[in-house]
A and B are shown apart, each in its own frame.
Chain A
């Protein structure tokens, strides 16, 4: 009898263990818990990418790093992992040819996270405009939101919006051009109209890595020569839009060297097929001018030093958390 009971108990235990394992497998892997009312940390990877794009766009719109950082922290992930994901989203968006304002926003956001890649350089150099101006004063029911905003936990130094500002973030003309236009040709070929720039050195060899500004009435963009080596080391191009007048600046100086560049229809024997003209521009460096002192000795005051002192004024940033 005792043997029969213990045998039954062993059978029960074994069955219960099998059932327990089965139950755990179902609960953990087959039908795991799905929460509702979750935070962004629970989003699937594809939606996390969308979320990061939105945070970047919002940061470009609000210019409020505290709020953007709060949104990133809601992902509950290592900041380095998040930064890498932002870079991936940015580069994928660039490859997909997303609208330039979003690419600028993503590049700026990625740069703010401390990661900057070659593909972002062009977009980092131009400001992020909004489609509609946001600074027009209007009658407001409650013009000052600050009384309802939660206070910051402690007086802190507001992080700068652009920790690594580019020297030419705003295309401000400087009085001394570093390049000269030596040829300007109108090109009629099938395909989209382009501004094609060739930058050469004094010997006529193409110079890669030279920044070329394209400036128009409501914006600016920038490209770098040498990214299409099959067309020459000093070559770079930009697609033109109809009806827009462009100005071109080359190198560190943003003084326009060519202005009022427009595309227009080329004469064609086939009136059904309109070809719009491209412009090919060739630049060379300005020849050095003789100076009274033939040699210049670097002084300590002009030598960059490894340490830079940055003074940050304490300021409070009003934020509203979601």
Chain B
């Protein structure tokens, strides 16, 4: 009897192990996730689009909510950092301007972005 219980436990453990390994490596139903799980490039694009939307409607509350979905630290610093990166990469000035304005609205005003505030 004791031997049968041991065999059952070993069988269950082996079966569960194989089941988890197969199930997690061959997923049929992955969890849909939040913007915080986006890759770094897509998060940067999310921030850029948020800044462009802010340039259209001037809705800072909405912009804050959209940035908050990304998690992380100070959203203003993050927008400003992306603005500086956009300068380095030579993005069009109106893109940089959108980032500069949103960063300024979020109290992040690095001097590099100042010339673009009116773009």
Binding site for B on A (CB under 8 A): 8, 11-29, 32-40, 42-45, 47, 50-51, 53-55, 57-58, 60-62, 71, 74, 98-99, 101-102, 105, 128, 130-136, 138-145, 148, 320, 322
Known: A15-B11, A23-B17. A33 touches B93 (CB 8 A): no
Known: A19-B13, A43-B33. A24 touches B52 (CB 8 A): no
Residues of B within 8 A of A12 (CB): 7-8, 10-11
Q: How many residues of B contact A (CB 8 A)?
A: 65
24 contacts between A and B (CB under 8 A): A11-B4, A11-B7, A12-B7, A15-B10, A19-B18, A20-B15, A20-B19, A23-B17, A32-B29, A35-B37, A37-B37, A37-B38, A44-B33, A47-B69, A57-B49, A57-B52, A58-B52, A61-B52, A74-B42, A128-B56, A130-B56, A133-B118, A134-B55, A148-B89
Residues of B within 8 A of A16 (CB): 11-12, 14-15, 18
User: Using an 8 Å CB-CB cutoff, how does the interface string of B32-75 with A read, 1 for contact, 0 for none?
Assistant: 11110111111011101110110111110000001001000000
Binding site for A on B (CB under 8 A): 3-4, 7-24, 27-35, 37-42, 44-46, 48-50, 52-53, 55-59, 66, 69, 87, 89-95, 97-98, 101, 115-116, 118-119
Known: A22-B19, A130-B55. A43 touches B12 (CB 8 A): no
Point out the residue from A20, A55, A138 that lies within 8 Å of B16, measured CB to CB. Answer: A20
Point out the residue from A19, A40, A105, A136 that lies within 8 Å of B56, measured CB to CB. Answer: A105
Q: Chain A contact residues: over half helix, strand or loop, or mixed?
A: helix
Cα A140 to Cα B94 in complex, Å, equals 11
Say yes or no: A138 contacts B11, CB within 8 Å: no
Q: Chain B contact residues: over half helix, strand or loop, or mixed?
A: helix
Say yes or no: B33 contacts A42, CB within 8 Å: yes
Known: A16-B11, A44-B34. A132 touches B55 (CB 8 A): yes
Chain A's closest residue to B117 (CB) is: A132
